[in-house]
Chains A and B, each alone.
Chain A
Amino acid sequence: MKSKSLKKVRVKFNLNCRQVEIETKPNKRLIDLLREDFGLTGTKEGCSIGECGACTVLVNGNAVNSCLVLAGEVDGARVITIEGIAKNGTLHPLQENFLKHGAVQCGFCTPGMILSAYALLLKKQSADEEEIKEAIAGNLCRCTGYKQIIEAIKYTIKEMSEKQA
């Protein structure tokens, strides 16, 4: 492969509700595209093999590990990162409740954790504790023991369904 040249890929996609277009190396991972090319450093790298979930972003409404996605693969897709969760400076209820319930300690797993919870809320209006645990099972946290995170998500679901009623 030393002799062969790399052919750049052109990627057009929707990033946090903005249409963007960029040309980049074919072997660039989505996590690097976000962190380096777009300066969105909220998405974190913890393991590089899709085990820890710190790099979780949403692609077309689904939570995925951005360390396992290539830049070219999001052509035509909708990508949401942690930077796209708050709207115009107003925190999303998930973010508010993470703060209120002590669900944030070192904060490194937090962006990925919030996105997994956000993805759950996109799919379901209500979820019990088991479903919440399943939704975040791919997000490792070494600090919090998960309890306050689960509480924050539970509370958000309750709050949001009461608001709807």
Chain B
Amino acid sequence: MIQKFNYVAPKSLNSALKILSENKNAKVLAGGTDIIPGFHIESRRFIDTELLVDIKKIQNLHAIKERKDFVEIGACVTFAELAENELIRKYFPLLAKAAETVGSVQIRNRATIVGNFVNNAPCADSVPPLLVYDAKIQIQSLKKTREISLQKFLIKPYATALKKGEVVTKIILPKPDENFVGDFYKLGRRRAVAISRISLAVLMRKKDGLIDEIRIASGAVTPIGTRLYELEKFAKNQIANSDTFKELAIMLGEKVLEITGLRWSSEYKLPVLQQVFYQLLEKVNRNEK
């Protein structure tokens, strides 16, 4: 069943922000693929929602724009649009790959990437790639516009730094150095339409056989998607070989265990996580430019 709420579709961002600031039980509606099922299962997160503010009629929220050093993704860009977009495929291949693996064709045609991380489920697939690409987001309210790193924006499962009356309007992705190679990995219980049990994003740049810079983010194994700065620091200037990769994998296992403690799924997830991370590093290393 679906609860009672009102629906508006303002044509300008200003109207939307005004409505959100005036109605404390209003929520932004973008793709609807989290909210509507949420209503159906009577999720506590939506039980007080009385007004849905559909932002899809707001013109400039749908664009993917290229700037000199950045690419901007509007709040209403869907996973389908992301996966097909030339700019994304060129500059942010991990994001394109992650976008392709979310849900099904039907879900990807509606679900927005911004909605995905604003919802911030532990298994949000957009988060690890966005983190390794050092994503920043722009948030607007009636009173001001601010920018914040995605990392800082995500607080804990289903909770972000979004305040009442605010809307995330775009993602700002700095174009990475072209010498980076990387990959995105996702493990689910079946081959399609699967909730992630483990997801990993890795970007690596080598110099003379040494790891010059590496960026690592994990999803679904920790309460929220996480950049693993300690591993990245350790890896700098290590030889890019199997031995190093195994050490990094062991460190990942230890770090995740430290964050989550022993959970009911740890006996499966921890050994598997270390193995697939190691293998991901080997694969990325083979793809080197």
Q: Using a CB–CB distance below 8 Å, which chain A residues touch chain B?
A: 1, 4, 6-7, 9, 26-27, 29, 48-51, 53, 56, 59, 62-65, 67-70, 72-73, 75, 116, 119, 133-135, 137-139
**A70 pairs with B32, CB closer than 8 A:** yes
| Chain B residue total in the interface (Cβ 8 A) | 28
- Bound complex: CA A156 to CA B36 (Å): 35
Q: How many A-B residue pairs have CB under 8 A?
A: 94
Q: Using a CB–CB distance below 8 Å, which chain B residues touch chain A?
A: 2-7, 9, 29, 32-33, 36-37, 40-41, 50, 52, 54, 56, 80, 103-107, 109-110, 192-193
Known: A26-B6, A26-B7, A67-B36. A72 touches B106 (CB 8 A): no
- Bound complex: CA A18 to CA B103 (Å): 31
Known: A62-B109, A68-B33. A6 touches B192 (CB 8 A): no
**B40 pairs with A27, CB closer than 8 A:** no
Q: What secondary structure prevails in chain B residues at the interface with A? A: loop
Known: A27-B3, A135-B105. A75 touches B192 (CB 8 A): no
Distance to closest chain B CB from A63 (angstroms): 5
Could you jot down 22 A-B contacts, CB within 8 Å?
Answer: A1-B4, A4-B4, A6-B4, A27-B3, A29-B36, A49-B37, A50-B33, A59-B109, A62-B109, A65-B107, A68-B37, A70-B36, A73-B9, A73-B29, A73-B32, A73-B56, A116-B105, A133-B192, A134-B192, A137-B192, A138-B105, A138-B107
**A53 pairs with B37, CB closer than 8 A:** no
**B7 pairs with A137, CB closer than 8 A:** no
- Bound complex: CA A116 to CA B193 (Å): 15
**B2 pairs with A65, CB closer than 8 A:** no
